């Protein structure tokens, strides 16, 4: 059987050297647009009171409530006006250096396919719903938009230090699975959470996972899992804090320091942690 994942060694036929392809919006079928609408309705129903203010503002500013998979010609006009970012279509996962180069240049690569009905609750790779609904609203926020540019540049730099493995944890625990403390309580902003029905609830309300205050060095020592809900979430006090700390820190000495420090096991609480929730971990243990 052919590899079912959208993973390629080189840009596939028809793709540009930077791996982008035309979105070819007209080619999405009625069933594919209906899948988007189904996922959009299910997520947007639960997001008030759960999603970060910046995320909700982004959904609004970008007019994502318009039915169907967004047409990037329209979406990009709004996104460009907000923060200078644009969404570009790619066939699937792209190599790290290509991904970072896109981010550094304010382009967010989005997989140009949508999950099938048997993948509604879980799929192994990012589709257009995860990439656009999950990631793009935050890119309409000026502070987060700058953070993602800085991350792209930092990603390219990390390759020279062989430190991508450590930096990837920062992406994971912020861009994908980040929580933020807002005046009314904890909110979700990570794309992996906001695009997941189950994790939108689990990440905020479940007693199982730890919730720990954001600390850059501690975070970059922490392992993560890709196969199930997180056992651990890091909480930022504000997007401004996240941007300031990461931009003002030179990661070169941090990478050197991390070389000498042991990793922290996924669910461990360590001295110095600002513990917001000491999770029971019942969920992860039950699956043991």
Using CB atoms within 10 Å of the CB of residue 286, give its burial: 0 to 12 exposed, 13 to 18 middle, 19+ buried.
exposed
Give the distance from CA 49 to its chain's centroid: 20
> Which range touches ligand PHE (CB under 6 A), out of 47-55, 86-94, 148-156, 200-208?
148-156
Interface map 115-144 toward Fe ion (x if CB under 5 A): -----------x------------------
Residue 25 parent element (H or E): none
Structure tokens that stand for 147 in this block? 């953070």
Q: Could you give the C-alpha distances from 4 to 17, 121, 124, in angstroms and in order?
A: 23, 18, 10
229, with CB counted inside 10 A (0-12, 13-18, 19+), is buried
Sequence-distant (6+) residues with CB within 8 A of 47 are 55, 56, 59, 194, 200
CB of 202 to Fe ion, least distance (A): 17
What is the nearest approach in angstroms of ligand PHE to the Cβ of residue 243?
Answer: 8
182 phi and psi angles, rounded to 5 deg? -110, 165
Strand 232-236 and strand 210-213: the pairing is parallel
154 binds ligand PHE (CB under 6 A): yes
Judged by CB under 6 A, the stretch of 1-9, 53-61, 180-188, 243-251 that binds ligand PHE is 243-251
Contact call for residue 173 and ligand PHE (CB under 6 A): no
Size of the site for Fe ion (CB under 5 A): 2
Binding segment for ligand PHE (CB under 6 A), chosen from 77-85, 207-215, 224-232, 247-255, is 247-255
150 scored as a contact of ligand PHE (CB under 6 A): yes
Phi, psi of 154 (to 5 degrees): -65, -35
Q: Which one among 247, 264, 266, 276 touches ligand PHE, defined by CB under 6 A?
A: 247
Minimum CB separation of residue 179 from ligand PHE in Å reads: 18
Residue 70 interacts with which of ligand PHE, Fe ion, none, CB < 5 to 8 Å by class: none
Question: Out of Fe ion, ligand PHE, none, which partner does residue 119 contact, by CB within 5 to 8 A per kind?
Answer: none
Select from 249, 257, 265, 269 the one that contacts ligand PHE (CB under 6 A). Answer: 249
Binding at 191: pick from ligand PHE, Fe ion, none (beta carbon under 5-8 Å per type): Fe ion
Q: Which of 139, 191, 212, 235 binds Fe ion (CB under 5 A)?
A: 191
Residue 150 interacts, among ligand PHE, Fe ion, none and using kind-specific CB cut-offs from 5 to 8 Å, with ligand PHE
The number of C-alpha atoms within 13 Å of 113 and in the hemisphere containing its C-beta is: 14
Q: Which of 162, 145, 119 is nearest to 251 (CA)?
A: 162
Minimal distance in Å, beta carbon 144 to ligand PHE?
11
Q: Measured at CB, which residue is nearest to ligand PHE? A: 154
Say how far apart CA 93 and CA 125 lie, in whole Å.
Answer: 8
Closest separation in Å from C-beta 181 to ligand PHE: 20
Question: Looking at beta carbons only, is 124 or 249 nearer to ligand PHE?
Answer: 249
Rounded Cα distance between 175 and 164, Å, is 15
**Three-state secondary structure along 244-263?**
HHHHHCCHHHHHHHHHHCCC
Q: Which residues contact Fe ion (rule: CB under 5 A)?
A: 126, 191
Q: Which residues contact ligand PHE (rule: CB under 6 A)?
A: 150-151, 154, 157, 170, 246-247, 249-251
């Amino acid at each position: 059987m052919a590899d079912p994942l959208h993973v390629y060694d080189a840009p596939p036929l028809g793709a540009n050297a930077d791996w982008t392809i035309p979105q070819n919006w007209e080619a999405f079928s009625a069933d594919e647009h209906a899948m988007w609408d189904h996922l959009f309705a299910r997520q947007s129903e639960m997001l008030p009171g759960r999603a970060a203010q910046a995320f909700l503002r982004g959904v609004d500013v970008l007019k994502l409530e318009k039915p169907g998979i967004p047409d990037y010609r329209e979406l990009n006009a709004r996104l460009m006006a907000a923060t200078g970012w644009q969404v570009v279509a790619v066939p699937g996962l792209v190599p790290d250096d290509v991904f970072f180069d896109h981010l550094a240049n304010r382009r967010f690569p989005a997989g140009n396919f949508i999950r099938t009905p048997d993948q509604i609750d879980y799929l192994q790779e990012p589709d257009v719903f995860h990439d656009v609904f999950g990631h793009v609203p935050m890119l309409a926020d000026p502070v987060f938009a700058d953070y993602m540019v800085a991350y792209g540049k930092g990603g390219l730099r990390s390759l020279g230090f062989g430190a991508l493995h450590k930096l990837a944890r920062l992406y994971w625990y912020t861009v994908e699975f980040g929580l933020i403390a807002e005046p009314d309580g904890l909110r979700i902003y990570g794309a992996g959470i906001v695009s997941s029905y189950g994790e939108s609830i689990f990440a905020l309300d479940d007693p199982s996972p730890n919730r720990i205050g954001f600390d850059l060095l501690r975070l970059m020592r922490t392992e993560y899992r890709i196969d199930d809900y997180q056992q651990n979430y890091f909480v930022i006090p504000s997007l401004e804090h996240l941007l300031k700390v990461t931009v003002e820190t030179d990661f070169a000495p941090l990478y050197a320091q991390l070389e000498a420090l042991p990793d922290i096991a996924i669910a461990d609480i360590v001295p110095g942690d600002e513990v917001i929730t000491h999770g029971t971990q019942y969920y992860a243990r039950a699956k043991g």
